[in-house]
Amino acid sequence: MSGILPLRPDGGDERGDRPDIALQQILTEEQRLGRWEVRAAEWRALELARTAFGPDVRATLLGMRHRGELRGLLKLDVPFADMDLHREREVAFLGMVGADPLMTRVPLVFVLGPDGH
């Protein structure tokens, strides 16, 4: 590029390429901590789901809130063989979630679906 035109169309600096940096400048400390709590709960839920359903579970955090009664929406793609086995594993997973201190402090809504394989 020549020196006449800016490298970015908006004339901004390189931080614009990193939305996480721009977001950190907007969020309060409480909001940042709340987001990290939800991320920790996401990883804990994935670990518990893999314990119940097996290692092939995939998780996608579809939404999060830094505070409130429900903190996030987590989609879990789990192996599916038959309905009876799925229900047993689902009960085991939800039991582990209910007994976990992090998961009770940072409640998530779970959407369980077949993994597609």
Question: For the chain, what's the residue count?
Answer: 117
Domains present along the chain, CATH in parentheses? 38-114 (3.30.300)
What is the spatial distance between Cα 57 and Cα 8, in angstroms, rounded to a whole number? 40
Write out the chain's pLDDT in tens, 117 residues. 445 544 554 555 554 566 666 556 676 877 778 788 889 999 999 999 999 999 999 999 998 877 778 788 999 999 998 999 999 999 999 999 999 999 999 999 999 988 865
Burial class (CB in 10 A: 0-12, 13-18, 19+), 17: exposed
